[in-house]
Amino acid sequence: MTRATLERRQVWCYLGAVLGGLIVGTLAPGAGHAFEAMVWPVIGLLLYATFTQVPLTTIAAAFKDTRFLTAALIGNFVILPLLVWALVQFLPQDQAIRTGLLLVLLVPCTDWFITFSQLGKGDTARATAVTPLNLVVQLLLLPLYLWVMTGGQFSAVFAPRDIWPALVVVVAPLIAAGLSELWFRADPGRERARDLLGWGPVPLLALVIGLVAAAHVGAVRDALGLLPVVIIAALAFLAAGLALAKIMSVIFGLPATQGRTLAFSFGTRNSFVVLPFALSLPAGWEIASIVIVMQSLVELLGMVFYLWFVPHALFPARGPRT
């Protein structure tokens, strides 16, 4: 199996991981705390493997195409957050559900976004260039978004003493990946190490999803009634991402390949980066992490539709002039 084949079939890997995790958690209900403890180091490895595929030292390259950059930043960090805030107003008055959706829908993806852009005939070079910038901006703005959209309850829910492990799990791999990037660039022969790490995100994310399902099988069972709410919210967001990509592409006069890249950027979210923050929430907030896993699965299934719709219907290739 090639890495491209693995990435094309990742949706089924994650669905199998959920099913396997639920079965294991049901058969071993007393092992929930052990499974939850295992999630943290696996997430750290996942983030490190993923960040090494995002060349952080190429952030400057993202500034070369100002039209595409402006469209991507305005869409991801101005318009979509406003749409997300409007969307959660229609959800049940459950802070755990709302917090989970806010966490996952407010931050653009930095891993499979590039893969789907490539598979969907987008501009992979621009996707790669803008991804590290998206990562830095979202880490800076997410606390502000949460503080504003939760009515100031952000500091009460995300107490520093509870959230610092999540910060370490995100920041440490980011620093390690930055140092690794310098090491890779020092010798072209070391790129093989980066390529080997590129095999890690799909199986590691599948393992994380399976461990979360196994650790919180009771919460998953209790949250089945919320599944329609999460599905509707996730589908509404996916539809909004398509519409916004088309509008921004027209406004900024972007070619079809860049419009496709915008669509995949707006439609994919950074679930694995915010999952540690959801897992660090106090007892009684387990639903937030379940919501994030649910949303990511709906999103990945939605990407199957995106891969057909975006290049063939939304941004079709223009034929030769006659």
Q: Where are the alpha helices (DSSP H) in the chain?
A: 3-8, 10-27, 32-51, 66-74, 80-88, 95-105, 112-119, 124-149, 154-157, 160-186, 191-197, 201-215, 217-222, 227-252, 256-267, 271-279, 286-309
Query: Is 11 inside any structural domain?
Result: no
Backbone phi, then psi, for 108, in 5-degree steps? -70, 150
**Reported pTM:** 0.83
Q: Quick one: pLDDT at residue 102?
A: 93
- Which residue range forms the structural domain that includes residue 266? 32-313
Give mean pLDDT in consecutive 10-residue pieces for the chain, a chain of 322 residues: 81 88 89 86 88 71 82 97 94 86 92 84 86 87 88 61 70 87 87 90 89 83 80 95 97 96 95 83 81 88 93 82 36
| The total number of structural domains that make up the chain | 1
Query: Is 179 inside any structural domain?
Result: yes
Q: Quick one: pLDDT at residue 255?
A: 95
Distance, in Å, from the CA atom of 110 to the CA atom of 88, rounded to the nearest integer, reads 23
Query: Is 321 inside any structural domain?
Result: no
Query: Is 52 inside any structural domain?
Result: yes
Query: Is 202 inside any structural domain?
Result: yes
Query: Is 23 inside any structural domain?
Result: no
Q: Quick one: pLDDT at residue 64?
A: 78
Query: Is 25 inside any structural domain?
Result: no
Query: Is 12 inside any structural domain?
Result: no
Tens-place pLDDT, residues 272-322: 788 888 888 777 788 888 898 889 888 988 998 999 999 999 999 875 443
Q: What is the CATH number of the domain that holds 50?
A: 1.20.1530.20
Q: Quick one: pLDDT at residue 47?
A: 83
Distance, in Å, from the CA atom of 103 to the CA atom of 83, rounded to the nearest integer, reads 14
